[in-house]
Structure formats: C-alpha cells, structure tokens
Amino acid sequence: MANAFARSLRKSLTQQEAKLWVKLRELKSLGFHFRRQAPIRHIIVDFVSFRDLLVIEVDGGQHNFDEAARKDEARDAFLRGEGFRVLRFWNHEVDRNLNGVMEAVATALGTPTRPA
C-alpha cells in the first residue's frame, strides 16, 4: 500500500520538490543516490539517501500550523530513531536560495564539492 501511494506521489511532485530533485540527481556524479517519495516503514519521505541515512523534506505553508508541526516533529523523531538525519527546508528556501539548500545538503553528506 505504501509503495503504491509513494508511486502516485512521485508523479505529482510540487514545484519546489521538482526543482530540488533536479539538483539532487546531479549529486549522482559524485556517488550520492537519492530516491524521491520513498517509503520508510509507515511514512513516505520526500527524498532519501539510504546509503547516507539522510532524509530531506520540503515543507509548504501547511506545516506552520501547530498540529502539522507536531506531526513533523514526531516523524523526525521516528526517522532519527531509525538512524536517519533529517533536513527540512521551506518551499520559499528552495525557490529563493536553492544554492544554499544544496550547500546544506552537501555539508550533511560530508562533501564540500558541489556538482557542476
């Protein structure tokens, strides 16, 4: 069930997720592999590198509300319990500062090298 839902999400990325996905795919030339809309047990994350145990989430305005923020905190705690590190970015960060977002990703991956 989670796999079918994840598959449907991959077909309907937000504009910001699509922008970030293009940049994350460029990291493949450096040996990093990300999957998009990937299930990890009972949740689906926006992007994940299983080898590097790094999850990247892109959040819109709906995550500003208390209930959504609590769910995000619970998801992050679950993912950390599974051994993952979690990076969260707001949609506006991806729109206005994609290079800065990618710098944060590169830092988390332990490489200062940026893709061409």
CATH assignment at residue 7: 3.40.960.10
Q: What residues are paired with 59 via a beta bridge?
A: 90
* 28 falls within a domain: yes
By C-alpha distance, which of 5, 89, 85 is closest to 42?
A: 5
> pTM for this structure?
0.83
- Cβ of 34: how many Cβ atoms within 10 Å? 23
From CA 25, how far away is CA 42, in angstroms rounded? 25
By C-alpha distance, which of 46, 50, 39 is closest to 87?
A: 46
* 115 falls within a domain: no
Q: Work out the average pLDDT over 47-51.
A: 97
- The reported pLDDT for the residue numbered 90 is 94
- The reported pLDDT for the residue numbered 116 is 41
- The reported pLDDT for the residue numbered 100 is 97
From CA 6, how far away is CA 18, in angstroms rounded? 15
| Model confidence at 114: pLDDT above 50 | no
Counted domains in the chain? 1
- Structural domain containing residue 18: 2-109
* 9 falls within a domain: yes
Count, residues in the chain: 116
Q: Per-residue pLDDT tens for 50-77?
A: 999 999 999 986 545 567 778 899 999 9
